[in-house]
Amino acid sequence: MTDLLTLKEKIIAESKRIGIDKIGFTTADPFIELKDSLEEQKAAGHTSGFEHPNIDERIYPERTFDNPKSIIAIALAYPTRIHERMPRDQRRGQFARVSWGIDYHDVLNEKLQQLIAFIQAETAGVDSHFKPQVDTGEFVDVAVAQRAGLGFIGKNGLLITEEFGSFVYLGEIVTNLSLEPDEPVANGCGDCTRCITGCPTTALLGDGRMNAKRCLSYQTQTKGIMPNEFRKKMHTVIYGCDICQLVCPYNRGKDFHFHEEMEPKTDEVYPPLVPLLSISNKEFKKQYGHLSGSWRGKKPLQRNALIALVNLGARENLPEIMRCLKDPRPVIRATAVWATAELTKKEPAETIALFEELLLEESDEEVQAEIKKNLHYLAKIS
């Protein structure tokens, strides 16, 4: 009976066997409908800079693949709750759920390679070619997944699936094989605007697009000094942001634990903040290197740890925070200036004297500006 199955049916069966939670198929026709939107977003300065820079290559699969015919889209569901007991021993930060477990790029790439190997075996003797990618390639992943029938693109710009909500990782394979396409999924948001009103930085534009530079996920990944307006709003999340997913009705009650490699460990995804301030490169790589949230290195996370300690009101950690005033990296020094000011503003006299002294020694213009701004702030409230 299995010999009568089409190649597409065999691929679907194999995808289930290797642990792919959802799979869909679409043509490799150009994504013309994205062109105006992508160009408008770029012109408005709403892009993050992390996207593939060539818009035409994002729209036309033939620009980066020879004779594309089909795209296979996959989704893997990831956990939303941690089942380990949360220690109350010290001040902790948090990685957003998208960074729990082993880096999803590695997990999805392995699944895609397994699927490609299966298709190659099934099409032996046929001139078949494949190109897998997971969000670092040219395609707009949610657009591919939507057209392949995996779900619809919500007002928060994320793919929302019927079974798993938006808590899914996406990947795709472009190929020169012709496979029967699935039907796209119609938008299901209706009049709901919970993600838009729930976003603390007004990053969502209301039509599935966002001003990426206002997104807290983007702000936690930058390497420079975080603008003041975002510092309190990130609370204790030192990487990413889950808010627009957590308020979405489609995500209510969704918590899937299908993949052991995605399971979070408390000390990794709710890391103690103070040790993070002085962690060595070697220890950082050992403890956090397998998380997708480590891709920008330790500096942004250390900056964010300082901010999170302020948001927790961690006055008892002032000695460790103030040690960062002498850090060789300007971004850390500048953030430590703000953190020290915030945690000593009720009794600012000693901090004012310290900052006046630091200002005479500081050579970096951005750090100087942060010291002056906080000196003015402390003098005004004292």
Q: Which residues are catalytic?
A: 135
> Residue 58 and residue 65: Cα distance in Å, rounded?
12
The structure tokens listed for 229 are 């307006």
Residue 364 near residue 330, CB atoms below 8 Å: yes
> Residue 53 and residue 50: Cα distance in Å, rounded?
8
| Long-range contacts of residues 49-52, Cβ cutoff 8 Å, at least 24 apart | 50/218, 50/221, 52/137, 52/138
> Residue 288 and residue 232: Cα distance in Å, rounded?
24
Residue 305 near residue 323, CB atoms below 8 Å: no
Query: Which residues touch 83 (CB under 8 Å, ≥6 apart)?
Result: 257
> Residue 255 and residue 237: Cα distance in Å, rounded?
20
Side-chain-side CA neighbours of 226 within 13 Å: the count stands at: 34
List the alpha helices (DSSP H) in the chain: 7-17, 35-43, 55-59, 104-122, 141-147, 194-198, 216-221, 228-231, 243-246, 266-269, 273-277, 281-288, 298-311, 318-323, 330-344, 349-361, 365-381
Task: Read off φ and ψ for residue 83, nearest 5 degrees.
Answer: -95, -5
Nearest partner of 296 among 106, 141, 97, 103, judged by Cα: 103
Buried residues in 350-372 as b, exposed as e (16+ CB within 10 A)? ebbebbeebeeebeeeebbebbe
